[in-house]
Amino acid sequence: MDISVEELTSVDKEVTLKAKREDLQEDFDKAYKKYKDQIQLPGFRPGKVPMGLVKKRFGKEIEQEEISNIIQKVFEKEVVPEYEPVGETEMVDFTWENDELEVKFKIGSKPEIEVADLSKIEVNKMVHDVTDEEVEEEVERTLEREGNWEEVDEAASEETQVLVDVVSKTHGDEDKDQRIDLRKDDASEFLEALKGKKAGDVVEMTIPHGDHEDELEITLKKVQKMHKAELSDDIIKDQSNGEAENLDEFKSYIKSRMQQYYDQTSDDLFKNDVADALVEAHDFEVPETFVAQIQGSYVDQLKQQQGGELPDHFDAEEYKAGMKDRAVREAKWSFISQKLQETFEDIEIKPEDIDEHLAGQAAQYGMPVDQLKQYYAQQPQMLEQLRSSIREEKVFDILQDKVKTKEISKEKYREQQEKKDDKKKNK
């Protein structure tokens, strides 16, 4: 079989396989013999159907199946070792006419990357120490969660929640018994319309909805106020999983958990930001097939989130097109991460690294470590994914020492992120 390769880009190739019937005949003959021994037709003993009849009745299907097998074998034995494709291979053309076969594949190859000077990469890192005021606020939120809403004979205000029926005059639909917490910032438009109103009042208002405004008719049915729970020993023990027995211990518990949350959030944001900075610092092409594979994974993730079924009339191609930039970014980071793993000398997966990660997962899911180890032992693919995650964690540990890191407050970090988001929207 003749194999030719055309360079489409520095990382995209088109592979063409060509063959004539005489090149494939030996495989066809073996396939015919195999099926002749299996085919059963009325009037013939098993395995005794004449070859001419086999070819006449089943020849097209047998040859098509054998061509698929031949293509797969050639691709795996000759194309894969030579070009090491990355991403999902795409078949762009297939013809079997006049005893001539021509198949075209699009494959991606690993890009050549020269690691930038990491000491010139600058990344902000959010740092926040939990304050006593934040702890007090969390205690109040805990008492609210343990409390309940009570109906009051008062007008709606910024301290209340309302139960309403909402009719959209624009779309003609109705939502009954909707609860709106007027204390929240995202309810400011409803607060403005409903403030001072009591149960039984009907209010008309408009709210932005996409590229138009939605006219609403709101019937106020109940006004409610939050009745917070009293802090008790039972609440303290329940909310601290038995780790605290009095108020001081409870506050200490809350502060520790909040600090863990901020520290973990800081680490996660740093990883995302340093990856973005490195993607920005490296200019190279990524294979279209690899990007397409990532785009496809986004659809699969969405389907899983929707309980295994995508919404009716969901346009998968439009969705993937909208995720193109994100997929390119993810593809670039994947190749940069691989290059860094090859570059850093102290990237080594030790048994204790795997044990540590498994212990953390076991604690998270509330299952014995030995059971989790047995599960991974039976799932080689999952074990490799775990190894990959550990290697990337080690990459970020090293990067934290190699790039310039500027620690900033959570308020400053949030402000800068909002500016970045606004900049992206205005592009």
Query: What pLDDT does 279 receive?
Result: 96
Residue 424 has pLDDT above 80, yes or no: no
CATH of domain 148-227: 3.10.50.30
Per the prediction, the chain carries an average pLDDT of 92
**Sign of the CA dihedral running 331, 332, 335, 340:** negative
Tens digits of residue pLDDT in 210-243: 777 889 999 999 999 999 999 999 999 999 999 9
- The tokens describing 209, both together, are 């909805």
Q: How many CB atoms lie within 10 A of CB 364?
A: 8
**% the chain with pLDDT above 90:** 73
**Angle in degrees, CA 337, 406, 132, rounded to 5:** 115
Residue 153 has pLDDT above 80, yes or no: yes
pLDDT-based confidence at 21, cuts 50/70/90? very high
Alpha-carbon gap, residue 147 to 161, rounded angstroms: 14
Task: Answer left, alpha or beta for residue 51, where phi above 0 means left and psi between -120 and 50 means alpha.
Answer: alpha
Q: Which CATH class is domain 247-425?
A: mainly alpha
Tens digits of residue pLDDT in 300-355: 999 999 888 888 889 999 999 999 999 999 999 999 999 999 999 878 888 888 88
Average pLDDT over residues 387-396: 90
pLDDT-based confidence at 45, cuts 50/70/90? confident
Closest CA to 399 of 331, 355, 351, 339: 339
pLDDT-based confidence at 427, cuts 50/70/90? low
Burial 380-411 (b: 16+ CB within 10 A, else e): eeeeeebeeebbbebbeebbeeebebeeeeee
**Angle in degrees, CA 52, 54, 55, rounded to 5:** 65
pLDDT-based confidence at 47, cuts 50/70/90? confident
Query: What pLDDT does 139 receive?
Result: 96
Report the DSSP pairing between strands 404-408 and 122-126.
parallel
Q: Please say whether the beta carbons of 66 and 26 come within 8 A.
A: no
Decide: helix, strand or coil at residue 108.
strand
Beta-bridge partner residues of 220: 164
pLDDT-based confidence at 286, cuts 50/70/90? very high
Alpha-carbon gap, residue 28 to 6, rounded angstroms: 29
Domain 2-108 falls under CATH 3.30.70.1050: yes
The domain segmentation of the chain, as residue ranges, is: 2-108, 148-227, 247-425
Average pLDDT over residues 378-385: 84
Tens digits of residue pLDDT in 65-86: 999 999 999 999 999 999 999 9
Alpha-carbon gap, residue 291 to 310, rounded angstroms: 21
- Which run of H or of E encompasses 107? strand 100-108
Tens digits of residue pLDDT in 9-19: 999 999 999 99
